[in-house]
Structure 1
Amino acid sequence: MTTTTLPPGPSTPRFVQAAYALTVPRRGLYQMRDRYGDAFTVNVPTFGNALIISDPAEVKQLFLASPDDVDKPDRNLGRVLGPGSMFALVGEEHRRRRKLLAPPLHGRRLAAYERIVEEETTRELATWPQDRAFATLPSMMRVTLNVILRAVFGAEGAEFSVLRGLLPRFVKLGSWLAVLPVPKAGHGRWNPWRRFLAMRAEYDAIVERLITKAERDGHLDERDDVLSLMLQSRYYDDSPMSRSDIADQLLTLLAAGHETTATTLAWAVERLRRHPAVLRSLVEEVDAGGSALLEATILEVQRTRPVVDLVGRQVKTDGFQVGRWIVPEGYVVLVGIALIHDNESVFPNARTFDPTRFLAARPDLYQWIPFGGGTRRCLGAAFAGMEMNVVLRTVLRAVTLMLTDEPGERWHSRGIANAPAKGGRTIVRRRTASRGQAHRAPS
């Protein structure tokens, strides 16, 4: 057997490490980084024995490694999203499915969804109160959910109404179950998995009806929603996706693109209210029809406030080497996203919120990694970027975000995503003919 070389880590029992990971995940990562350096080992129920890295060269090496050496962790979102989810697929089947699903989420297809995003944002903005503090996260959740239902599911009418009520509860529960061990005692009366499976059955029945309606549509090729595009897609052997795989994949797009995108938008509001120079320049650019600073701001929000802590791979061969470390088969190698985003050697003045760092050059996708990296990088990254751009542009054109001197909001774990603890609170005023002014919030 190959000799392993691993860095030190906490020696406390697994259940203690698990409790720490669930209650103070971000603080724990930084404390271990400060104690052990840019790499350390942990032992937690979700992943078991794991190596956490944040050295840029080692992160790049991991993301470029062959799927024969490392692939998705055995325990991941696939167990709540279904066997047809991109999170569950490995090897050649993952590559084939990714190639099949990429076109609907990139390039010219994105332009067809911009109108939907703007419509849903404008509708939600009409409900925002003036001169009264409120959390923006619930609003952003409604916007991104409605966008997903219209652009991805093609849902309308009765199905739209049912899914709008079902999916937030489903995703919230699934986000917690994804990071908790599956109980061995089955799905008893008080087991949350029982409730989760009941919601999944309801979701599957609705998607089955949507697929049947779509297949009966005589103009399927004229539709732009992702469901219709999936139904028309074919593998290289001309075989279609199965209905169960379509249901799993639609759910994946929802889970990966609904809560995380909404949370990033809430963080964007939280950041902009505390950086008047950035907000003022951004409003001026949006009023003039520009987009460079807006795009850079979204990148910087994702760098300074990544909503996911870790992304990882599981070692499939004994003695896999990543940088200084030789990792045994079965180990999970996790990348500390916040740790690399906070690395001064990668991003000078890393603790400073400075969107201008991304004006001159696009980020290195092995160092700026809110969407993960390599062959398993989030398939919906371009869709999420478009959606955040349109939502923020629409918000800044419609309302003035009132500045605040309050401390930045703390991180609050929602299972998978880390949200602002107060929900990205803001105070707004409707824009008038005098544009480009950011105001202090009333005391």
Structure 2
Amino acid sequence: MTVATLPAGPRSPGFTHTIQLLVGRTRAWRRWRARYGTAFMVHTPRLGRTLILSEPAEVKALFTAPTDQVEMVNSPLAQVLGPGSLFALAGDEHRKQRKLLTPPFHGRRLAVYEQLIEQETVREMNSWPQGREFGTMESMMRITMNVILQAVFGAEGAEFDELRELLPKLVLVGSAVAALPVPRGLLGRYGPWARFTRLRHRYDEIVEILIDRAATDPGLSEREDVLAMLLQSRYEDGTAMSRGEIADELLTLLTAGHETTATSLAWTVERLRRHPDLLARLVAETDAGGSALREATLLEVQRVRPVIDATARTVIAESLPLGRWILPRGQGVLISIRLMHDNEELFPNARTFDPDRFLDVRPGTFSWIPFGGGTRRCIGANFATLEMNVVLRTLLRDFTLEPTDAPDERVHFRGVALAPADKGRAVVHRRAVRSDRIAQADPARARA
């Protein structure tokens, strides 16, 4: 029998670790890292006694471990997104499902979305107040919501209007019940799980209508949206996805492709306003038709302000040798994205916001990990990267963003995502915009 070897950690009662994480996650991670090193044990709400990893070689080994040794098991998001979601599947089932979902977010199909993203961005930014401070996060949420709805379903209509209202509520309540082990019966029909169940039931009803409509569409084979592709896709044995699987995966794409991208964009605004020299360089680059510094800036924003600060795995082998440690079956592990991005060996002057570090240098696959890694890396990472690039390009092209000497916005934990506490405050002034661009994005405004 192999004897487990695990690192040390704080000796305080487990519930105090949870409180520290709820009150100040980043401070807690950094304090424990300073005291115990790149690996330590703490109590987390969902995994119990958990190994926290941030040593690069050990993180890489965990990401690349075979799926019959390490998997994402009992993910709290699985309870929210459903049994057909990628978050709920493991091993072969996960691999087969992921294979079906990959094509819409890569290659030629990815390029189809660029014009859609720009149109939605221009339409939303036309409503921005000028010369008056406002929070950008809700606006970014509307952009990403409209984009992902059209990318997933491919059209507009009453159902889409209802989904625009329903999904933010579903995400908010779902994040709360996923973050903490809330009993399902808490407060009966007035509790968080009861509210989530009602919202999820209505979502399923709407998706059922949209599936029926798509299934009878004579032009289904010509459509570019994700729903059309999933209805036509087949597993390796020739079987089709069930309606339940489609509903769960679409919810996964809608939620994952909505809040996290919008939050990163709000953080981008927050960072740029506090770095006026960089902001001026970005405007000049955009006016000249360039993109290298903009792409580097988005990489750096996601490094210093990761929206998700950890990704989980569970050991399913009898034991797992991992660097300095031997992990027993059932051991929960959190790879700390926050602490990896703080690593001075990987990123010199790591606490400094410096996009130039990524100019002409691609980040390491197992060191820059805002989208996770291994077989569980976010399937929509390329889509999110494109969306952030287009939205930031449009903002820099169409508006002057005022710098500020205000303190950095604090990090606010929203249950799953880490957002700017003041919602990415901005003050903007419109730059000269060609009338044909306005007409293309918002015909009603052009006629006015």
Who is 1:5 aligned against? 5
Instruction: Judge conservation of contact 2:184–2:193 (CA < 8 Å) in 1.
Output: no
Residue correspondences, number: 433
Of 151-160 and 219-228, the range deviating more from structure 2: 151-160
Of 24-33 and 387-396, the range deviating more from structure 2: 24-33
CA deviation profile, 1:353-389 (whole Å, cap 9, x unmatched): 1111111221111000000000110000000001101
CA deviation profile, 1:98-137 (whole Å, cap 9, x unmatched): 1111011111111111111111100111111111000000
Letter in 1 for 2:260: T
Q: Tell me the secondary structure at the aligned position of residue 189 of structure 1.
A: helix
Q: Tell me the secondary structure at the aligned position of residue 190 of structure 2.
A: coil
Q: How far apart, in 1, do the equivalents of 2:131 and 2:186 lie?
A: 51
Letter in 1 for 2:367: Q
Query: Aligned-pair distance for 1:185?
Result: 4.4
Instruction: Judge conservation of contact 1:47–1:75 (CA < 8 Å) in 2.
Output: no
Q: How far apart, in 2, do the equivalents of 1:201 and 1:11 lie?
A: 43
Q: Answer yes or no: is 1:239 the counterpart of 2:233.
A: no
TM superposition score normalised by structure 2? 0.94
Q: How far apart, in 1, do the equivalents of 2:252 and 2:185 lie?
A: 27
Instruction: Judge conservation of contact 1:73–1:332 (CA < 8 Å) in 2.
Output: no
Instruction: Judge conservation of contact 1:412–1:419 (CA < 8 Å) in 2.
Output: yes
Q: Tell me the secondary structure at the aligned position of residue 429 of structure 2.
A: strand
Q: How far apart, in 2, do the equivalents of 1:52 and 1:230 lie?
A: 37
Who is 1:49 aligned against? 49
Of 281-290 and 369-378, the range deviating more from structure 2: 281-290
Q: Answer yes or no: is 1:194 the counterpart of 2:194.
A: yes
Instruction: Judge conservation of contact 2:186–2:192 (CA < 8 Å) in 1.
Output: no
Q: Tell me the secondary structure at the aligned position of residue 42 of structure 1.
A: strand
Q: Answer yes or no: is 1:23 the counterpart of 2:14.
A: no
Q: In angstroms, what is the RMSD of aligned CA positions?
A: 1.3
Instruction: Judge conservation of contact 2:184–2:194 (CA < 8 Å) in 1.
Output: no
Q: How far apart, in 2, do the equivalents of 1:237 and 1:44 lie?
A: 40
Who is 2:386 aligned against? 386
Query: Aligned-pair distance for 1:276?
Result: 1.5
Q: How far apart, in 2, do the equivalents of 1:57 and 1:410 lie?
A: 31
Q: Tell me the secondary structure at the aligned position of residue 210 of structure 1.
A: helix
Structural mapping, 1:120-135, within 5 Å: 120-135=120-135
Structural mapping, 1:215-226, within 5 Å: 215-226=215-226
Letter in 2 for 1:395: L
CA deviation profile, 1:21-46 (whole Å, cap 9, x unmatched): 22222211111111111111012231
Of 140-149 and 5-14, the range deviating more from structure 2: 5-14
Structural mapping, 1:429-440, within 5 Å: 429-432=429-432
Query: Aligned-pair distance for 1:187?
Result: 7.4
Letter in 2 for 1:426: A
Q: How far apart, in 2, do the equivalents of 1:340 and 1:186 lie?
A: 37
Structure 1 unpaired stretches of 5+: 434-443
Q: Tell me the secondary structure at the aligned position of residue 76 of structure 2.
A: coil
Who is 1:308 aligned against? 308
Identity of aligned residues (%): 60
Who is 2:287 aligned against? 287
Moved over 3 A (4+): 184-187
Who is 2:108 aligned against? 108
Query: Aligned-pair distance for 1:176?
Result: 1.2
Query: Aligned-pair distance for 1:188?
Result: 1.7
TM superposition score normalised by structure 1? 0.96
Who is 1:441 aligned against? none
1:188 and 1:54, CA in 2 relative to 1: closer, same or farther beyond 3 A?
Answer: same
Query: Aligned-pair distance for 1:182?
Result: 4.1
Q: How far apart, in 2, do the equivalents of 1:176 and 1:184 lie?
A: 12
Q: How far apart, in 1, do the equivalents of 2:344 and 2:125 lie?
A: 38
Instruction: Judge conservation of contact 1:304–1:353 (CA < 8 Å) in 2.
Output: yes
Instruction: Judge conservation of contact 2:6–2:327 (CA < 8 Å) in 1.
Output: yes
Instruction: Judge conservation of contact 1:153–1:250 (CA < 8 Å) in 2.
Output: no
Of 130-139 and 181-190, the range deviating more from structure 2: 181-190
CA deviation profile, 1:230-287 (whole Å, cap 9, x unmatched): 1111111221111110100011011211100000000001111111121111111111
